[in-house]
């Protein structure tokens, strides 16, 4: 799906896709939108910063920017 609003659920979906080794399914341009959604207190949240959305946003940023993190946490049989 196209990248919609930067919500807790959308950030959770992007983090989980990376966790499952399917980060290529995260829409192009999602990372800049997540970065732009950072609140002035340094966290992420829909109305106020929450630990949940902040953790997921950081997880997404790490997965999108660091090399060597493309190994799936779940190994599929060939």
pLDDT digits (tens, 9 = 90+) for 22-35: 888 999 899 999 99
> Sign of the C-alpha dihedral, residues 68, 3, 56, 48?
positive
Give 9's pLDDT tier (boundaries 50, 70, 90). Answer: very high
pLDDT at 70: 54
- 17 to each of 38, 41, 42, 62, 70, how far by Cα in Å? 21, 27, 24, 13, 11
More confident residue, 18 or 8: 8
- Report the pLDDT averaged over residues 2-15: 88
Element at 21 (helix H, strand E): none
pLDDT single digits (tens) 50-78: 999 999 999 999 988 876 555 555 555 55
- DSSP bridge partners of 44: 50
Apex CA 14: angle with CA 28 and CA 12, to 5°?
150
């Amino acid at each position: 799906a196209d990248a919609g609003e930067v919500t807790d659920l959308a950030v959770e979906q992007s983090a989980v896709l990376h966790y499952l080794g399917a980060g290529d399914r995260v829409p192009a341009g999602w990372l800049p939108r997540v970065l732009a959604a950072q609140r002035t207190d340094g966290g992420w949240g829909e109305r106020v910063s929450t630990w949940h959305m902040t953790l997921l946003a950081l997880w997404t940023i790490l997965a999108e920017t660091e090399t060597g993190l493309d190994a799936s946490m779940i190994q599929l049989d060939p």
